[in-house]
Structure 1
Amino acid sequence: MIKAEGLTLVYGSGTVAARDVSFEIGKGEIAGFAGPNGAGKTSVIKMLTGIMKPTEGRAEIAGYDIVTDAMEAKRRFAYISDNPDILVQLTGAEYIDFIADIYGVDKATRQERAGAMAKRFGIGDKLNTSMREYSHGMRQKLMIIAALVHEPEVWILDEPMTGLDPAAAYELKLMMKEHAARGNSVLFSTHVLEVAEKLCDRILIIDRGSLVYNGTVDGILEENEGLDLEQIFVKMTSGDLRE
């Protein structure tokens, strides 16, 4: 449901943010996307979601090219960025309505879906409050609710756990599992390798713009017997695994 073929991004300065990145995430899969700071995770995610046009290569969401068939592709995924501090002059409910209007979700359906998610995240009584009064974590919860209100097949999440309290992080992980169990796909970037090891079917590791691993979590653990995912990550990205 998510397909990247040779994605390359070169900035005008000549800096290569991503180089020939290819992978595929199928139905029912949760994939973790890991890499050091500045390795290219966000650049790849921005190409997958159509925010940035690749210098070379292509990406598909649910069979639709993100550049040549952008509207159809964008109807089929939710994107949650790592910055929840947008349109904070709105109330939570107004922001959800804004996003729901874009996707054509009717009033009754959006209220039912958003209300259920807000209850799970513990902010059901805060939706009519200005987002200026929200903490970072509350804004992150609201961004997640709004992004998922149209119930897309594909979720693309950039550091979605950042700022969430433990209960909300637990709920989000549970929601990811439920979504994948219905035959859908999830891709999320993370620095927390323990989460990826427990939650993911597939792991992608990027370093200095290039994908250095693309495979199952079980596979990478078998190939590196005696090491956990965090140790494998350090070994692959720095080459210096100290006890």
Structure 2
Amino acid sequence: MAVSNEMTTSQGNGVANPRMAVSIRGLVKRFGAKTAVNNLNLDIPVSSFYGLVGPNGAGKTTTLRMLTGLLAPDAGSVSIFGHDVWTDVNAAKRMIGVMPESSQIFDRLTGMQLLVYSGMLRGMKRKESIARARDLIKAFDLQDSANVMVADYSTGMTKKICLASAMIHSPRVLVLDEPFEAVDPVSSANLKDILIEYAATGGTVIISSHVMALVERMCTHVAVIDKGHVCASGTVDEVAAGQDLEDRFLQLVGGRHAAAHLDWLDGGAR
């Protein structure tokens, strides 16, 4: 575990660890004068449910985009089960499932059509794509909406079909950026159950989230990211260090201050 700005030897020697589901070394990304990710090092164990947490602008989404091959780093490396994402890109991407945002999918297709298309896009035969799409439609309780255009889905249903499209090729690593944002409690519970079962079968789940209670309840491991680097990483219990995870998070990233006293904000008491 690395519960400080100091990296462990395995993370700090610049050599990726092929025994890990994901091994990140010296990752850097700049946008003009801003350094979004600053020499980030992290190892994500196989079959872990790994949470990435941090304040807005900490570099979580940028890190995930580089991890999944969607954004080229300025320096550093990411390997998936020993396959470098940027030099062995096809092998790495075959092992990754990325949950798309609702704006990134073809929402004029029905749910069933979208899943079959997603499978075939991954090189699957049409017959196999159809069979897996049916299984996923059932698993996500979308039978009544299978032949409805995704554009007419609710937010929760759209999240489900996006997650299903990321899972259809049976990836070894599933990457989800804020998967429960704006999802109702029932849909959220169903998504969580499916993800926990997936991790239990040997899959590795990586999620970013701002909800500490969710991370503390669901994740086996967590990394706190601030200003583009890892402040702490390890199991949830190790990082929490005997505290509530949210309190520990605030202690690590700072930024909390006394409530502002606005004389005019009195709730109508005057």
TM-score, shorter chain, exceeding 0.5: yes
Residue 141, structure 1, aligned to residue 160, structure 2: yes
- Structure 2: give runs of 5+ residues left out of the alignment: 1-20, 260-270
- Structure 1: give runs of 5+ residues left out of the alignment: none
- Name the counterpart of 1:190: 209
- Name the counterpart of 1:32: 51
Residue 18, structure 1, aligned to residue 37, structure 2: yes
Quick one: distance in 1 between partners of 2:244 and 2:57? Answer: 23
Quick one: distance in 1 between partners of 2:246 and 2:213? Answer: 7
2:246 to 230, 234, 242: 230
Relative distance call for 1:219 and 1:186 in structure 2 (3 A) is same
TM-score, scaled relative to structure 1 = 0.91
AA partner of residue 141 (structure 2): G
Aligned pairs (5 A) from 1:89-108: 89-108=108-127
Quick one: distance in 2 between partners of 1:132 and 1:240? Answer: 40
Please identify, of 63-72 and 113-122, the stretch whose mean Cα deviation from structure 2 is larger.
Answer: 113-122
TM-score, scaled relative to structure 2 = 0.83
- Name the counterpart of 2:227: 208
1:128 to 130, 147, 156: 147
Aligned residue pair count: 238
Quick one: distance in 2 between partners of 1:236 and 1:29? Answer: 23
- Name the counterpart of 1:51: 70
Q: Give the percent of matched residue pairs that are identical in Structure 1 and Structure 2.
A: 32
Quick one: distance in 2 between partners of 1:228 and 1:69? Answer: 40
Superposed CA deviations along residues 153-192 of structure 1, whole A, max 9, x for unmatched, are: 1111111112322222222222222222222211110111
Residue 78, structure 1, aligned to residue 94, structure 2: no
Mark the structure with the bigger radius of gyration. 2
- Name the counterpart of 1:153: 172
- Name the counterpart of 1:5: 25
Superposed CA deviations along residues 16-44 of structure 1, whole A, max 9, x for unmatched, are: 01011111112121110001111110000
Contact 2:28 2:39 in 1 (8 A): yes
Quick one: distance in 2 between partners of 1:128 and 1:139? Answer: 14
- Helix, strand or coil at the partner of 2:148: coil
Contact 1:4 1:21 in 2 (8 A): yes
Superposed CA deviations along residues 114-150 of structure 1, whole A, max 9, x for unmatched, are: 3233223322121211122112222111111111001
Contact 1:141 1:164 in 2 (8 A): no
